[in-house]
Amino acid sequence: MGSRAFAAAPLDLAPRKIALHNLHTGESLQAIYWEEGRYVPDAIAAVNKVLSDFRTGDQHMMDPGLIDLLSTLNKKVDAKTPFQVISGYRSPKTNAMLHGHSDGVATKSLHMQGMAMDIRVEGVALKHLHNAALDMGRGGVGYYPSSNFVHVDVGRVRKWQGV
């Protein structure tokens, strides 16, 4: 985690923040996770903890690109409150159980690789959050209006609508 991350020039060295609230565990986090051109190891570890599989307690290294995506999305929607996390990391056991109950859960979900989150933001219309995520043109974006969340991931660019 201490290694420098390089983006397209010019390198943006401004601090990056993330604010998360896990709806299942009640855990919250507000942290600067990127500073002086580096990911902050303690902040990334705290993100991994907040996004752990609430059913099993298993933790997994979340893709820093996903946290970067959320940080950018936060600015796009001008969120005043933390991202409400419905699902972050999912263990293979949890994913298999969910897949058994719903065709909408992929067998090889990016949640199992720490590359996906299901989110909403209090005070931000779900459709606005969805459109802002689509406008970024980064990764997958799923819209689940009946379930009241938007799925974002750092896989290939694609979009879909669920329930």
8 in a structural domain = no
| Residue 6 predicted with pLDDT over 70 | no
Distance separating alpha carbons of residues 106 and 163, to the nearest angstrom = 15
**The token pair that represents 52 in the structure block:** 């752990």
123 in a structural domain = yes
pLDDT digits (tens, 9 = 90+) for 34-86: 999 999 999 999 999 999 999 999 999 999 999 999 999 999 999 999 999 99
Bridge partners, residue 30, by sequence: 19
pLDDT digits (tens, 9 = 90+) for 97-151: 987 887 677 778 899 999 999 999 999 999 999 999 999 999 999 999 999 999 9
122 in a structural domain = yes
55 in a structural domain = yes
Please choose, from the candidates 95, 131, 100, 102, the residue with its C-alpha nearest in 3D space to the C-alpha of residue 116. 95
Domain that holds residue 116: 16-161
pLDDT computed for residue 11 by the predictor: 67
108 in a structural domain = yes
Q: Could you tell me the CATH number of the domain that includes residue 55? A: 3.30.1380
| Residue 90 predicted with pLDDT over 90 | yes
Please choose, from the candidates 51, 69, 67, the residue with its C-alpha nearest in 3D space to the C-alpha of residue 59. 51
Helices (H), the chain: 41-50, 64-77, 92-101, 126-136
| Residue 9 predicted with pLDDT over 50 | no
Query: What is the distance of C-alpha 72 from the center of its chain?
Result: 11
Q: pTM for the whole thing?
A: 0.89
Bridge partners, residue 99, by sequence: none
Regarding predicted confidence, which is higher, 108 or 28? 28
pLDDT computed for residue 100 by the predictor: 82
Contacts of 150 (CB under 8 A, 6+ apart): 118, 119, 120, 126, 129, 130, 133, 141, 142, 143, 144
* Number of domains composing the chain: 1
4 in a structural domain = no
35 in a structural domain = yes
72 in a structural domain = yes
Give residue 3's pLDDT band: very low, low, confident or very high (50, 70, 90): very low
Distance separating alpha carbons of residues 37 and 12, to the nearest angstrom = 7
